[in-house]
Structure 1
């Protein structure tokens, strides 16, 4: 509920504060005084389009601020907190919007900057603005369906809630299926490539570290003669070959001679004995090396067949490493990863089958739930039309009827229902259109085509009265909903607005005294001029002020005795009517 609205630099309004209250607040004033600016300001606070032409001449900006109370545990309060805004302990929320002449716009929600879309989001649950310029609410079939759904209550809400969950899941399943289908050729090509390359690896069957070991073997095979020659030469240098016939001793013999010479005198000096020990170790080491050299030379394989086999094997390994890694270990790591990817790709078909089965099951479930919602809508449509017509009877449309038409559209990709394929969306399968029959014999036409601006406003008022039976806590704004009517119809409009105001905050811009008489709070917009500048202000009226204002509205003058008497009668009659349960 709005507690206060402040307007500054908006149209003819210099600076004005609307002190609002529960119940019915009416706003009156002479033509051109600025009543429309109040509706414009509310439009800005509810996320409406920014019209910079509203900025008052001579001002660089226009500012609108609203203080409203919302339950702290409501979803609206949660959205405010999610956006970083704050409410005080009493649930008071301050929202504001500034239009700057250079084309910028600023929004504040709960003390934090926010996009205008957040205002629109919050307004969905808090404010409903009605008027000839706001008739687009009834121009959309989605809004008309929403009105019927509100009237039908749980009979529609329950299956529709389950339907919404399954519809969301269907969208996700379809997206996955579309992705799989779109990428199926790519996946098939990738899988075929992986199979071919994995087959190459399996054919070669490399062992971990095999390339390094094979490189070492190839070096020995390719240089076998040089390796044997080097080993034999070294061996000959260590151990003299008697067959050589040159009588030259080998290194082993020379070291042995040195060891014998030192050993012979080692008893004379410990230091010499220590040196003798070291010579003995050298002799043993040289003998071991000589034996190893002989064994090494004998073990070198110069087999050409083995060399060819090793070279062929090395070529196979090189082909793999060029394609899949820097070495054999890299190839094996790639093969493991590729195998996992191939399993994933091959599993795509199973995934598609499972998703297709889930999709089909979801479609069947959606058809059942949509059928339940559709049946409930059809049952509620007649009663809804009857109740709206009953309200219209008192609004100068005594013979008018409103028909809620529930229909479906064929769609080859739709839900299988009623022996057809029916288009469906997040709200089910039904199109709901409100049609107006203004009088017997007239064709039923969509309300936005078959009703004048004033009639459309009254249809909207009648619908709100019908729906308000189960609603509470909403701020409803009616901008000249009484256009084109007077007399008894005007009284009936006031009575219905007062009825709405029992459970909702209602703000009505009106030019009819019969409507204004039902107000719980009466605000008047007045303008003044110093000859060069015209400005408007807003003031709350006391009982005497209300009599004067209704007199002006009735007779164009506040001091007419007859008009004052009539005004007092209207106020008394309205008070008595409101006192009746």
Structure 2
């Protein structure tokens, strides 16, 4: 919902603030006062083309800004966040500010949530926030996809089984589309798949012939380093053994002898002190450990003698075989084995192409048969809903001074798609016996606005946007028809926010908020005149005076004011 619109230097409006609220808000004023600038401002905020001619004479730029409150999770909030907007959140909703500036040179800038954004973002947000109906504005339900969506939402309420049948159709359609795509791929790429299978088979045969083991390349690398340094390793191990146990009784003391001497010294006095006794035991353990290490060193040196140059050659040959696999297939042997496992699965899949094709052909045929039945159900339910929607909208048109007009909803057979097998068109038959024509063609701005009002009133409960703006909806009507237009705008306002620019007191009488645009002219120093407009929200007394002006052009007339009060009372009695 739009909480407030702020306008600066747009047309004849120098600066104005429109405080809006829920329900029906009307904007009135004398001809030329600038009422349409309100709709122009909304259009700018929806991303409409900027017109430098709309900038107030003498001003460098014009701007429009709106504060909106939206429920949590609204699509516009998500899109605004993607554009980098700052959004003020509160319990159950959020506040979003949109702004647009148009320079006198025609350049335009847009801001979403205080952040600069492309004008296209305003257009995307506007599609979910506001619907404007006027002679020069885009019609919300003009496009084929929008008409289909509106009919389907209406059908979901009017036909109990429509939603489930459409969902079932879409699920089968997706299954059919995926199966058909895979089938086409198998048929058109059979040669490529055969070459791929042959290549994989050759690679797997090569890997299998070498028979690599997990981690084998690293293990062989370590063994090669060891075998390449046998003499150094033997010298080091025997030297270490000599340091631990001097078997040739050399002059230097060995580690085992020294540890044993320390043990004997402590054992001699162990009975005198428990702490030294415990230390003696630990030294004994060290002696055993050193003896074990010495034996291991002898065994290690002996094993080096058995791994001579012959073993090193075997290792290098094996590493060469593994290097070929690593060069061709993956950075390591473990990754080569992983690639082989995945390739085997792919080869099994390619080898089963003929069987897979048969299964897919059967699946496609079954899905097509199921789709035909489901599409027929969807079309039948859509046609029934279209008849109901057409009758309801046509009834509304009769009350809106278009007694012979009728909404015609055509369903034509179309190529099967995700939404069914129907082409849907909303057409207007303005007079009995005339040829129905697409919405937007063959009707005046006022007539078209009334058609859209009738549609929106019927669809409001199932296909609403938060805010509707109507301009010229009351063009060319008066009397009872004007009262009916006001009543239906009030009906629509039960579901959404409605803003209407009007010159009819019968319409204005139904408003929840009445906004007046007034103009004044002043002379400047150069002798010329400057026209400015002001905007204000009317209180009850001011509202009576404005309705009197709209009725008779005499806001001070007691008779006109009495008639205005009667209009207000009648609107309150008959409001939905």
Q: Common fold, TM-score beyond 0.5?
A: yes
What is the Cα deviation at residue 78 of structure 1?
6.5
Any idea what the Cα deviations from partners look like across 1:125-146, whole Å, max 9, x if unmatched? 5432212223532321222223
Match of 1:13 in 2: 13
Aligned partner of 2:131 among 128, 138, 144: 128
Match of 2:90 in 1: 88
Task: Give 3-state SS (helix, strand or coil) of 2:153's partner.
Answer: helix
Match of 2:395 in 1: 390
What is the Cα deviation at residue 31 of structure 1?
2.9
Task: Give 3-state SS (helix, strand or coil) of 1:62's partner.
Answer: strand
CA contact (8 A) 2:555 2:561 kept: no
CA contact (8 A) 1:180 1:348 kept: no
Alpha-carbon distance in structure 2 between the residues aligned to 1:342 and 1:56:
72
Aligned partner of 1:476 among 463, 468, 473: 468
Q: Give the direction of change, closer, same or farther, for the CA distance of 1:184–1:14 in structure 2 (3 Å limit).
A: farther
Match of 2:295 in 1: none
CA contact (8 A) 2:133 2:139 kept: no
Alpha-carbon distance in structure 2 between the residues aligned to 1:327 and 1:464:
67
What is the Cα deviation at residue 15 of structure 1?
1.3
Are 1:105 and 2:98 an aligned pair? no
Q: Which moved more, 1:129-138 or 1:54-63?
A: 54-63
Task: Give 3-state SS (helix, strand or coil) of 1:387's partner.
Answer: helix
CA contact (8 A) 1:25 1:506 kept: yes
Any idea what the Cα deviations from partners look like across 1:216-264, whole Å, max 9, x if unmatched? xxxxxxxxxxxxxxxxxxxxxxxxxxxxxxxxxxxxxxxxxxxxxxxxx
Q: Give the direction of change, closer, same or farther, for the CA distance of 1:174–1:93 in structure 2 (3 Å limit).
A: farther
What is the Cα deviation at residue 327 of structure 1?
11
**RMSD, matched Cα:** 4.7
Alpha-carbon distance in structure 2 between the residues aligned to 1:126 and 1:327:
59
Gaps of 5+ in 1: 216-271, 276-291, 302-309, 410-421
Match of 1:536 in 2: 533
Matched length: 483
Match of 1:413 in 2: none
CA contact (8 A) 2:63 2:100 kept: yes
Q: Give the direction of change, closer, same or farther, for the CA distance of 1:463–1:324 in structure 2 (3 Å limit).
A: same
Match of 1:195 in 2: 201
Aligned partner of 1:545 among 510, 533, 542: 542
Task: Give 3-state SS (helix, strand or coil) of 2:31's partner.
Answer: coil
What is the Cα deviation at residue 378 of structure 1?
1.0
Alpha-carbon distance in structure 2 between the residues aligned to 1:392 and 1:464:
12
Are 1:575 and 2:549 an aligned pair? no
Task: Give 3-state SS (helix, strand or coil) of 1:95's partner.
Answer: strand
Task: Give 3-state SS (helix, strand or coil) of 1:396's partner.
Answer: coil
Match of 1:496 in 2: 488
TM-score (norm 2): 0.69
Match of 2:559 in 1: 565
Q: Give the direction of change, closer, same or farther, for the CA distance of 1:435–1:188 in structure 2 (3 Å limit).
A: same
Alpha-carbon distance in structure 1 between the residues aligned to 2:89 and 2:17:
21
Alpha-carbon distance in structure 2 between the residues aligned to 1:21 and 1:519:
11
Match of 1:262 in 2: none
| Residues 181-580 of structure 1 mapped to structure 2, 5 A cutoff | 185-200=191-206, 324-325=325-326, 336-349=337-350, 366-409=371-414, 422-425=415-418, 427-468=419-460, 474-531=466-523, 532-556=529-553, 558-559=555-556, 561=557, 565-566=559-560, 568-580=562-574
What is the Cα deviation at residue 73 of structure 1?
6.5
Q: Give the direction of change, closer, same or farther, for the CA distance of 1:201–1:389 in structure 2 (3 Å limit).
A: closer
CA contact (8 A) 1:44 1:64 kept: yes
Task: Give 3-state SS (helix, strand or coil) of 2:33's partner.
Answer: coil
What is the Cα deviation at residue 372 of structure 1?
3.4
What is the Cα deviation at residue 452 of structure 1?
2.9
Are 1:145 and 2:138 an aligned pair? no
Alpha-carbon distance in structure 1 between the residues aligned to 2:165 and 2:362:
23
Q: Which moved more, 1:447-456 or 1:22-31?
A: 447-456
Q: Give the direction of change, closer, same or farther, for the CA distance of 1:333–1:190 in structure 2 (3 Å limit).
A: farther
Any idea what the Cα deviations from partners look like across 1:172-222, whole Å, max 9, x if unmatched? 67777777777765554343233334445556778978999xx9xxxxxxx
Which structure would you say has the larger Rg?
1
TM-score (norm 1): 0.68
CA contact (8 A) 2:87 2:96 kept: no
Q: Give the direction of change, closer, same or farther, for the CA distance of 1:194–1:59 in structure 2 (3 Å limit).
A: same
Q: Which moved more, 1:482-491 or 1:160-169?
A: 160-169
Match of 1:33 in 2: 33
What is the Cα deviation at residue 62 of structure 1?
3.3
Gaps of 5+ in 2: 225-247, 252-301, 524-528
Alpha-carbon distance in structure 2 between the residues aligned to 1:324 and 1:273:
55
Alpha-carbon distance in structure 2 between the residues aligned to 1:360 and 1:453:
50
